[in-house]
Amino acid sequence: MLEIQPLSPRIGARITNLDLGHPIREQDFRALEEVWNERHLLVFPEQKSLPIEAQTALLARFGPIIEERVPGEKHSYVSNADGLGTDEMNEGYREGELTAHMDYTYTPYPADVISLYCTELPEGGSETRFYDNVTPLSKMPPDLRERLAEYHVLCAHDLSTMKPDAKLYLEERTKPEAPTQSHVWPMIRPHPTKPGVEALVCTLQQTERVLELSDEANDDAESRALLGRIFDDFLYVPENEYVHAWQVDDLVIWDNAALQHARPACPRSRGARSFRRVAVCAAGNAIQETVQFLSLADSSVAFS
């Protein structure tokens, strides 16, 4: 019988007694949907030698799977090791720290759902940190919540520097000629697939500033102060965090609109860290947006 165990007060559930290598019964998937809508992250441990077909079949139930790193493939790899289609990746993305973010918010097509299946880990292990974008809205003072509803944020990604450890709101403004991909979002976004759910759109890695509070002559001080308050008091606080300590054969699926994720550095010198990735987006393909933006031949050298 399917077993579901909460992983933290706000985020995640551990799912056991379910072999994803076999078709999921409809009643079990309905149970998964219920906890997914509330907790936004599912951990399926001990999925030994999970076939790629099983991972993609499960993700396809959440929406259209997007092609990312390898043209024509519905999966890609996140790894600090050579091979696996990752050889063209910036070393920072392969080995460095990733500050908190949602994938592709600098395009019109942020991923809806992301999954990682763990195939290799260094001896010392590895972690991913997740932060809830939904609950803080109910925890902040009503007047602050009302203010945020009137604001918009510029999310940006400087493709010339590729800084995965950015704290963008504290840095100089990105320069369009860099080149920089960017997109404007309401600071509080209706969730794209969960009716009635709203989520913050502001992250350390990709949010440059609040447009209504922008004042370049004053170093965007008011924008920086507001973002710093949200980050320090509501988003990146222990009660709003789930830390996943990876084990080989874990499959983790999370909601990229409802959650942010981050990781510490994972240098190759400490051992291989590799995951097979499948992602979903109903609105479009952010990687193809980057390919077109950079006039690349294909997506093998474009990544988040």
pLDDT value at residue 301: 58
Of 118, 140, 131, give the one whose Cα is nearest residue 41.
131
Average pLDDT over residues 152-158: 97
pLDDT digits (tens, 9 = 90+) for 215-244: 999 999 999 999 999 999 999 999 999 999
**Partners of residue 42 on adjacent β-strands:** 13, 253
**Residue 118 confidence (pLDDT) above 50:** yes
* Spatial contact of 230 and 61, defined as CB atoms under 8 Å apart: no
pLDDT digits (tens, 9 = 90+) for 276-302: 999 999 999 998 888 888 887 766 655
Average pLDDT over residues 35-61: 97
pLDDT value at residue 180: 95
* Spatial contact of 237 and 229, defined as CB atoms under 8 Å apart: no
**Residue 166 confidence (pLDDT) above 80:** yes
* Spatial contact of 77 and 86, defined as CB atoms under 8 Å apart: yes
pLDDT digits (tens, 9 = 90+) for 167-185: 999 999 999 888 999 999 9
**Residue 70 confidence (pLDDT) above 80:** no
pLDDT value at residue 255: 98
**Residue 304 confidence (pLDDT) above 50:** no
In whole angstroms, give the CA distance from residue 30 to residue 25: 9
User: What percent of the chain shows pLDDT beyond 90?
Assistant: 86
In whole angstroms, give the CA distance from residue 248 to residue 141: 42
CATH of 3-301, one of 3.60.130.10, 3.30.1330.80, 3.40.50.1820, 2.40.160.40: 3.60.130.10
**Residue 17 confidence (pLDDT) above 70:** yes
pLDDT value at residue 63: 97
Average pLDDT over the chain, rounded to an integer: 94
At 162, the pLDDT band (50, 70, 90 cuts) reads confident
45's CB contacts (< 8 A; 6+ apart) are 14, 16, 247, 249, 250
pLDDT digits (tens, 9 = 90+) for 257-283: 999 999 999 999 999 999 999 999 999
At 202, the pLDDT band (50, 70, 90 cuts) reads very high
In whole angstroms, give the CA distance from residue 172 to residue 223: 13
